[in-house]
């Protein structure tokens, strides 16, 4: 029987990063992965493959605008979806292989199979061939992640009525892709196929897309994507989804009580994700699971069993890879007797469309609901020299600061490179910077980052220079 100091169940970003940090801290560490490849949802059927397809489709879309830059492309330009999907898979394989290299480098023992509790200190690993072995461990970290959610009346055939997993490996560009859910995943994959020639219709229950983000970002992203050709049907409640002879019919009720019918060749069900604990046998270890299927944890991510912790999508909070990574490191350091800390208000959120959308901190709606007095400063990308030079003039940066202290409370941006620019806002807020602090820091010219400085100036007595 193998014995370890720490065993992690699940090798996604939270699990494998936690394993590395445990090994760095001197613990004999094991990681258990149900599937043949490491990396979890993010690396295999989530973050990495979707960004690969977004990048490939973005290159194709850029070709349509080369003439604006004085570049004339002669001959036919075609999309080879099979090669695009193959490239995506190559990126996934390389990245997953990189995780295996890191496990070997850090002397982490990898077990392939389904991990399930036998007790609070023992885990059974059941392999594909049915054989099993027991691992004994002083501490155990649950990092089993999440799976796509579904609506109870929708039958997923995974051929025409699909989830994000199937959308990453289609064999043809849809003629009409109906997306149920206007959140991050649906919008990103919708833009991939929109660029490749599909008609895309988004049916959303809430009154706007990306409803968890600042309303101004939702409004701007809707405007830009409409300009690109995407169609939106917000405040529509889906009633049924059926596939008959490869024609998918989606029926939804609008605010007037009318039933609106959508017909497409594919329907992507993108209504969020659910914690994944199937087969874990958490009750055998005395680990409590909430009604929503989440592992119940305290502020130290400790479960009801004192030596067992849980991180990432399987616990409360945003389902983000980088949130899981921070939690994985925190738990490793807690086990080592250190006192790490995570400020969940400063975990950034990103939508990898083009323009990109990114945010950190409080939204305007949250500040109003909490009765916090604030001031706001915005700066449009169209007033930015670098944006005009590159032809990426959609979007803006908005900074929300405390009305009395000037401390930055939230930063919300949409535009080119915002997925990278948001890090500046996170750093500033981690050090509790004021809007004036940011406004007095030199930003290279011409850059997209200047929009952050200008927004800070706008929030500081309306002092923006270039608008």
For residue range 297-355, what is the model confidence (pLDDT) as tens digits?
999 999 999 999 999 999 999 999 999 999 999 999 999 999 999 999 999 999 999 99
Q: Please report the pLDDT score of residue 298 as a whole number.
A: 98
Confidence of residue 129 (pLDDT cuts 50, 70, 90): very high
3-state secondary structure of 122: strand
Q: What percent of the chain has pLDDT over 70?
A: 100
Between CA 5 and CA 3 the distance in angstroms is 7
Is 445 one of the annotated active-site residues of the chain?
Answer: yes
DSSP 8-state code for residue 270: -
The dihedral region occupied by 327, where left means phi > 0, alpha psi between -120 and 50, and beta the remainder, is alpha
pLDDT above 90: residue 174: yes
Transcribe 206-256 into DSSP letters: SSSSSTTS-HHHHHHHHHHHHHHT-EEE-S-EEEEEEEETTEEEEEEE-TT
Q: Please report the pLDDT score of residue 312 as a whole number.
A: 98
The mean pLDDT of 135-140, rounded to a whole number, is: 98
- Residue in the block written with tokens 């099993």: 132
Confidence of residue 170 (pLDDT cuts 50, 70, 90): very high
**Mean of per-residue pLDDT scores for the chain:** 97
Confidence of residue 49 (pLDDT cuts 50, 70, 90): very high
Q: Please report the pLDDT score of residue 214 as a whole number.
A: 97
Per-residue pLDDT tens digits for 218-262: 999 999 999 999 999 999 999 999 999 999 999 999 999 999 999
Between CA 453 and CA 467 the distance in angstroms is 13
pTM: 0.96
Residues 6+ apart with CB under 8 A from 395: 220, 224, 355, 380, 381, 413, 414, 415, 416, 418
- Residue in the block written with tokens 């390389």: 94
Q: Which of 73-77, 95-99, 195-199, 405-409 has the lowest mean pLDDT?
A: 73-77
Residues 6+ apart with CB under 8 A from 196: 57, 60, 79, 81, 173
CA 396 to chain CA centroid, Å, is 21
CA 199, 203, 207, 210 torsion: positive or negative?
A: negative
Q: Please report the pLDDT score of residue 437 as a whole number.
A: 98
Per-residue pLDDT tens digits for 3-37: 999 999 999 999 999 999 999 999 999 999 999 99
Catalytic residue among 59, 69, 445, 466: 445
Long-range contacts of 386-391 (CB under 8 A, 24+ apart): 386/446, 386/447, 386/448, 386/450, 387/415, 387/416, 387/448, 387/451, 389/446, 390/416, 391/65, 391/68, 391/69
Instruction: Output phi, psi for 437, to 5 deg.
Output: -55, -50
* Residue 426, both tokens: 């996170």
Confidence of residue 1 (pLDDT cuts 50, 70, 90): confident
The mean pLDDT of 379-395, rounded to a whole number, is: 97
Contact 264, 201 (CB under 8 A): yes
Confidence of residue 408 (pLDDT cuts 50, 70, 90): very high
Contact 368, 42 (CB under 8 A): no
The mean pLDDT of 399-417, rounded to a whole number, is: 98
User: From start to end of 49-198, where are the E strands?
Assistant: 109-112, 114-119, 122-126, 132-142, 146-148, 161-162, 176-180
* Residue 206, both tokens: 């809430």
């Amino acid at each position: 029987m193998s014995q370890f100091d720490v065993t992690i169940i699940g090798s996604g970003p939270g699990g494998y990063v936690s394993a590395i940090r445990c090994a760095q801290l001197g613990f004999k560490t094991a990681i258990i992965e149900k599937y043949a490849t490491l990396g979890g949802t993010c690396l295999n059927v989530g973050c990495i493959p979707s960004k690969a397809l977004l990048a490939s489709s973005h290159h194709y879309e850029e070709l349509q605008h080369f003439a604006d830059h004085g570049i004339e492309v002669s001959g036919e330009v075609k999309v080879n979806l099979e090669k695009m999907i193959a490239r995506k898979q190559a990126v996934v394989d390389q990245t997953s292989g990189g995780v295996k290299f890191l496990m070997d480098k850090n002397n982490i023992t990898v077990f392939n199979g389904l991990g399930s509790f036998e007790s609070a200190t023992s885990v059974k690993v059941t392999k594909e061939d049915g054989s099993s072995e027991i691992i004994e461990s002083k501490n155990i970290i649950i990092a089993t992640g999440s799976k796509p959610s579904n609506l109870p009346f929708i039958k997923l055939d995974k051929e025409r009525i699909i989830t994000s997993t199937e959308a990453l490996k289609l064999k043809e560009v849809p003629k009409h892709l109906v997306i149920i859910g206007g959140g991050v995943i649906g919008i990103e994959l919708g833009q991939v196929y929109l660029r490749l020639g599909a008609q895309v219709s988004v049916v959303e229950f809430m009154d706007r897309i990306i409803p968890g983000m600042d309303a101004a970002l939702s409004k701007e992203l809707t405007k830009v994507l409409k300009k690109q050709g995407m169609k939106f049907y917000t405040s529509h409640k889906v009633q049924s989804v059926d596939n008959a002879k490869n024609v998918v019919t989606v029926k939804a009720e609008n605010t007037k009580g009318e039933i609106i019918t959508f017909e497409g060749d594919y329907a992507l069900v993108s209504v969020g994700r659910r914690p994944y604990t199937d087969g874990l046998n958490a009750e055998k270890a005395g680990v409590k699971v909430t009604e929503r299927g989440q592992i119940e944890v305290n502020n130290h991510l400790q479960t009801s069993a004192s030596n067992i912790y849980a991180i990432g999508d399987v616990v409360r909070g945003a389902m983000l890879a980088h949130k899981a990574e921070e939690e994985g490191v925190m738990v490793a350091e807690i086990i080592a007797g250190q006192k790490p800390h995570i400020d969940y208000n400063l975990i950034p959120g990103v939508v990898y469309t083009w323009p990109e959308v990114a945010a950190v901190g409080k939204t305007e709606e949250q500040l109003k609901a909490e009765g916090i007095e604030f001031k706001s400063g915005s700066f449009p990308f169209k007033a930015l020299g670098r944006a005009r030079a590159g032809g990426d003039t959609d979007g803006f940066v908005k900074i929300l600061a405390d009305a009395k202290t000037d401390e930055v409370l939230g930063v919300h941006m949409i535009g080119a490179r915002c997925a990278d620019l948001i890090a500046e806002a996170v750093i500033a807020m981690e050090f509790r910077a004021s809007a004036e602090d940011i406004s007095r820091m030199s930003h290279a010219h011409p850059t997209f980052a200047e929009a952050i400085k200008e927004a800070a100036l706008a929030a500081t007595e309306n002092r923006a220079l270039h608008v």
